[in-house]
Every structure is written in structure tokens, then in C-alpha cells.
């Protein structure tokens, strides 16, 4: 089956997570992604957090599936020549080097545009161009702090907290993928490429949109009624950390289930959706609350919301998280068990949908990865194992017109 991005050639100059997550997604959808890596070393994640000595780490394999690997020292003249040839015949160059690295290598946007006016150059940086921190190198948690996520995550009596979700890295990569596809669409009509830039700070902030909403509400009225600090606690002039409170108009919290004393994930998330109040009362056996003026509206419930959560926890005491959700789903109550990574890895629905995919790797055997979260009616996304370092060097060089003698010489000089 042909894939929509077949025919799009991408020079993947990315490393670690933010850039590789972007190009992996484009590779799944059919683009020919050629990962350019330094000879002998490659992407630093190949050797970071290894679980099998000498074998590419899961950190690398889970972010670089469906790609080809070309080793190339782009600081050597012959390496620059090869990169120049590649640029002339590619559609997109994606990079997430530290600020200025591509320019220092001699490949400024102006130069790339001269070589190939249709080229799209897509970059991830920590901060946007012209930002007062634009010179900073940035990793995931730095971005979570700079983008407003850390100050608003965690509990009121604890420090700013980062999320386990890669809001700075993979999230930025997803934003960049949208930018690249948009630029490709624009090129269809203009014939011209362009520069696409996404900063990690901006991408985190884009997901923290509701917290900027809350800052403005707080500035105006002095309190935020959906936060646990309301109405019994106090507010300062900045959005507080809201613990596990729901971020919209539906109060919710993480609640203990049977076994919580020993199982760190024996919890469910429970949402009190306004119009589901009657079903909630029925599910809990608290029918008397349905028409009680002290409980029947969201406003009336607000000052005793934690007492209500306490009653629900009482009801949950003899139910596992799975039993509880099986009961509550019949009452149309938005809820979920808190799933551990072990449970997710074994989840039959996630396996069946391809969201958890078992992939074959030449050296490590099979491993699990997260497949495409985007499902298409007319395309099946097949996840292939990540490439070994330099696995496709010779075939890429041959396609650029290098003879086997030239290629041997390039290996000899450690250009590739």
C-alpha cells in the first residue's frame, strides 16, 4: 500500500528526542527519512541508558523507527560536499542542534535556499529567534519550566513539578511535523520552500493555554473556583499548583481504590460532570443527594467537593480500580483506572490498535514501542525497527553517484 508522504525526502539532522520524534512520525507516513549521524558515535541516545551492552538503547530505537542511517562528518570538506548533494535533491532538512550549529557548519538558511529553493528547513530550538534566552541549549525539563507547565503542576504545598509526558521534546516534535506538512502544502502552490521554526518553550506554552486563561481570571476576580484552594484556602496573585483538579468546569480528583496501601497505582480518576450528577448519586447509592439543594448544583457542591470525594473513596474501598470503572462506565461517568506502564505494555486493546507495537531489531530482537497515535481509514502504519549506525551509508552514497572506490576512500578517511 503506498503511503501519502512517499516521494518526500528528508535529511534528518536531529538527535535526542524533540527532532527524532518529528521525523519518525513523517517516516511512518511514508517519507524517506535519512538520519545523518556522526561516524563512530551517532545520535547520543544510541548509547544512553542502555539495557543491553553494546546494543542500541531503547531511547534510540523507540524514536528512530522506519528511518535510514547515513554516517557523515559534516565538518570535513568531503562531508560538506555530500551534504550539499543531498540538499539539492531533498525536500526537507530537519535539525535540532544547539543555537547556531547549522550556521557554523556552513549551512545557513540563505546558503541552503541557494542550493535548493524548494527546500524546507525545519528547526527545533529551546527558545524562539530573538528571545532573550535564544542562545540557551535546552532539554525537556528546562522547557517545561520555561513554558509555564512546571509552575502550575504539582501540589500547593510542594515545589514546581515537571510532567513525565515529554511536553518539551516529543510535543515540540509534533508541532514541527505540523509546520513541515503546512510548508509542503504551501510549496505545492508557490514552488518555494521556507524556514519552519518551533521553540520548545512555545510548544509547552501552547499546551498550557488554560493556565494563561486562569491567570487572567485570577487577575480579575482573585480566585479560581475549580482549584482545591477554593473556597477554604488562599490565592496569591499567580496561578497556583492545582494538584489533580480537573482543569475545566468538571471537578475531578485521583481517588484511592482497594489495595492502594501497597499498589502505587490502585487509583481511579473520577470526574463529576455536572449533568451526570444523578447517575453519580445512583452509582454511589446516594440517591438522597439528587434533589438535595445542598448538593444538586455544581455551585452548591463546591465547598464540600473533598467531602464528596471522600464519600466516593469510601464506596471504592472494596473495589479494584478495574471493578470500579466497570461499574461507573454503566452510569456514563467519565473516569479511568490509573494505569501503570506495565499494564499499558500488556493492554490488549493498545496492542490490537497498534498503539503498542512489537518491533523487530537486528541486534536486540523484539522490543515494544509506541506506534502511531494517529489512525487512518486508508493507511496502515507499519512500524519497522530503527537502523543500525551507518546501515544505509553506502546505498545513500551510491544513489548520489559515488563509486564503490570513492565510498571505500570516504570510509578510510572517516568522512562516513
Instruction: Name the active-site residue from 32, 43, 91, 169.
Output: 169
Site membership for ligand CAO, residue 344 (CB under 6 A): no
Site membership for ligand CAO, residue 80 (CB under 6 A): no
**Which positions from 143 through 202 interact with ligand CAO, judged by CB under 6 A?**
169
Q: Output 207 or 350, the one with its CB closest to ligand CAO.
A: 207
Site membership for ligand CAO, residue 104 (CB under 6 A): yes
Q: Output 176 or 305, the one with its CB closest to ligand CAO.
A: 176
Nearest distance, CB of residue 396 and ligand CAO, angstroms = 13
Nearest distance, CB of residue 103 and ligand CAO, angstroms = 8
* Active-site annotation holds for 91: no
Report yes or no: 96 and 125 within 8 Å, Cβ to Cβ. yes
Q: Which residue among 8, 10, 16, 150 contacts ligand CAO (CB under 6 A)? A: 16
Q: Which residue among 78, 84, 85, 105 contacts ligand CAO (CB under 6 A)? A: 105
Q: Which residue among 32, 43, 73, 226 contacts ligand CAO (CB under 6 A)? A: 73
Site membership for ligand CAO, residue 69 (CB under 6 A): no
Q: Which residue among 30, 126, 179, 252 contacts ligand CAO (CB under 6 A)? A: 126
Residue 283 has, within 13 A of its CA and on its CB side, a CA count of 26
Q: Which residue among 8, 10, 17, 29 contacts ligand CAO (CB under 6 A)? A: 17
Q: Output 19 or 242, the one with its CB closest to ligand CAO.
A: 19
Nearest distance, CB of residue 88 and ligand CAO, angstroms = 18
Report yes or no: 256 and 267 within 8 Å, Cβ to Cβ. yes
Q: Which residue among 7, 40, 77, 98 contacts ligand CAO (CB under 6 A)? A: 98
Binding residue positions for CoA: 15-18, 38, 72-75, 96-98, 104, 137-140
Residue ranges that bind ligand CAO, judged by CB under 6 A: 16-19, 36-38, 72-75, 96-98, 101, 104-105, 124-126, 137-140, 169
Query: Which active-site residues does the annotation give?
Result: 169
Amino acid at each position: 500500500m503506498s503511503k501519502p508522504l512517499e516521494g518526500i525526502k528528508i535529511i534528518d539532522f536531529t538527535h535526542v528526542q524533540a527532532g527524532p520524534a518529528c521525523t519518525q512520525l513523517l517516516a511512518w507516513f511514508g517519507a524517506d527519512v535519512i538520519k545523518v549521524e556522526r561516524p563512530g558515535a551517532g545520535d547520543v541516545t544510541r548509547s544512553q541508558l542502555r539495557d543491553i551492552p553494546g546494543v542500541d538503547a531503547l531511547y534510540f530505537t523507540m524514536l528512530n523507527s522506519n528511518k535510514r542511517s547515513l554516517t557523515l562528518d559534516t565538518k570535513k570538506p568531503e562531508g560538506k560536499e555530500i551534504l550539499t548533494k543531498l540538499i539539492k535533491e531533498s525536500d526537507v532538512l530537519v535539525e535540532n542542534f544547539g543555537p547556531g550549529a547549522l550556521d557554523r557548519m556552513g549551512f545557513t538558511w540563505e546558503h541552503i535556499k541557494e542550493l535548493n529553493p524548494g527546500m524546507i528547513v525545519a528547526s527545533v530550538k529551546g527558545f524562539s529567534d530573538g528571545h532573550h534566552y535564544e542562545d540557551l541549549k535546552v532539554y525537556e525539563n528546562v522547557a517545561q519550566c520555561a513554558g509555564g507547565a512546571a509552575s502550575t503542576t504539582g501540589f500547593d504545598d510542594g515545589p514546581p513539578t515537571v510532567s513525565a509526558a515529554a511536553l518539551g521534546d516529543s510535543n515540540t516534535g509534533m508541532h514541527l511535523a505540523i509546520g513541515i506538512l503546512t510548508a509542503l502544502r504551501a510549496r505545492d502552490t508557490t514552488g518555494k520552500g521556507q524556514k519552519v521554526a518551533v521553540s520548545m518553550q512555545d510548544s509547552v506554552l501552547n499546551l498550557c493555554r488554560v493556565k494563561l486563561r486562569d491567570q487572567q481570571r485570577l487577575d480579575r476576580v482573585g480566585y479560581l473556583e475549580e482549584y482545591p484552594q477554593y473556597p477554604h484556602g488562599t490565592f496569591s496573585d499567580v496561578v497556583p499548583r492545582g494538584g489533580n483538579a480537573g482543569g475545566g468546569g468538571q471537578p475531578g480528583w485521583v481517588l484511592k481504590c482497594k489495595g492502594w496501601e501497597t499498589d502505587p497505582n490502585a487509583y481511579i480518576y473520577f470526574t463529576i460532570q455536572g449533568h451526570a450528577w444523578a447517575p453519580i448519586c445512583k452509582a454511589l447509592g446516594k440517591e438522597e443527594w439528587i434533589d438535595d439543594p445542598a448538593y444538586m448544583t455544581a455551585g452548591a457542591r463546591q465547598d464540600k467537593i473533598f467531602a464528596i470525594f471522600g464519600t466516593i473513596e469510601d464506596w471504592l474501598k472494596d473495589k479494584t480500580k478495574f471493578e470500579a470503572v466497570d461499574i461507573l462506565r454503566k452510569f456514563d461517568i467519565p473516569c479511568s483506572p490509573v494505569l501503570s506502564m506495565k499494564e499499558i505494555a500488556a493492554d490488549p486493546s493498545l496492542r490490537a490498535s497498534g498503539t503498542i507495537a512489537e518491533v523487530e531489531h537486528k541486534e536486540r530482537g523484539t522490543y515494544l514501542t509506541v506506534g502511531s497515535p494517529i489512525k487512518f481509514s486508508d493507511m496502515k502504519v507499519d512500524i519497522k525497527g530503527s537502523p543500525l549506525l551507518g546501515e544505509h551509508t553506502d546505498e545513500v552514497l551510491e544513489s548520489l553517484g559515488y563509486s564503490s572506490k570513492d565510498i571505500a576512500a570516504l570510509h578510510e578517511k572517516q568522512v562516513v
